[in-house]
Amino acid sequence: MKRVLIVEDVTETRDWLEEATLEAFPDSDIFESRNVREALFSVKGHKFDLGIIDLGLPDGSGTQVISALSDTQPEAITIVATVMGDDASVVAALSAGAKGYLLKDSPKEVFVRHLRQIEQGIPALSPSIARRILDHFRKTVVTTETDVEANLTPREKDVLGLIGRGLRNSEAAKALGLSESTVASHIKSIYGKLGISSRAEAALQAARLGLTDT
């Protein structure tokens, strides 16, 4: 039913991955590669439904294989199977096109369950990896918003907060004791710094930065 590429240099682990794959998908046609070179050769010659790929290979990184599959066979589901659970490895694999990330220290029954869930549209992610992805996303969003806020001057924050609450330029100018032309100048600067072009976007940014609280 499935044509699966397993890329793993350790024989015992490769056998373990094959057993788990056949338990999850009994009708699978499995191709095995021990390194990047063999895997890239297989990718050129065959179409795969699923790739289970280690990252640390003798002649390079499994991300090379992931990229090759993603570029030439985008319909294939590529899953990392590794002991490397650090942020850099996770981000590199997902950026290369991996659609799942499983740690090989999982019990076989758990690994098999993750594989079976793929057909239900559920990403194959070890719980600790899912937490890392969420933490990374949260930190990235917080950092981005902090950078945006730091890029605005105190007066620009005042103006953004007022127009974010729906005040017209004249009303914001009166509230801040400024001329309308000065407020308009501040708005132009705000739009440029935030990469926006409308009051609706300005209101959204103001709310995200907590500038519309009364």
Kindly report, residue by residue over 178-190, the tens digit of the pLDDT.
999 999 999 999 8
CATH no. for 145-208: 1.10.10.10
CATH code of domain 3-135: 3.40.50.2300
pLDDT of residue 143: 47
Write out the E strands in the chain: 3-7, 29-33, 50-53, 56-57, 60-61, 77-82, 100-103
Q: Is a pLDDT exceeding 60 seen at residue 39?
A: yes
Q: What is the rounded distance in angstroms from the CA atom of residue 19 to the CA atom of residue 83?
A: 18
pLDDT digits (tens, 9 = 90+) for 71-85: 999 999 999 999 887
**CB contact at 8 A, 96 and 70:** yes
145-208 has the same fold as 3-135: no
Tell me the domain boundaries of the chain: 3-135, 145-208
More confident residue, 213 or 16: 16
pLDDT score at 69: 95
* 131-156 pLDDT tens trace: 777 665 665 554 455 555 558 899 99
The predicted structure's pLDDT at residue 92: 84
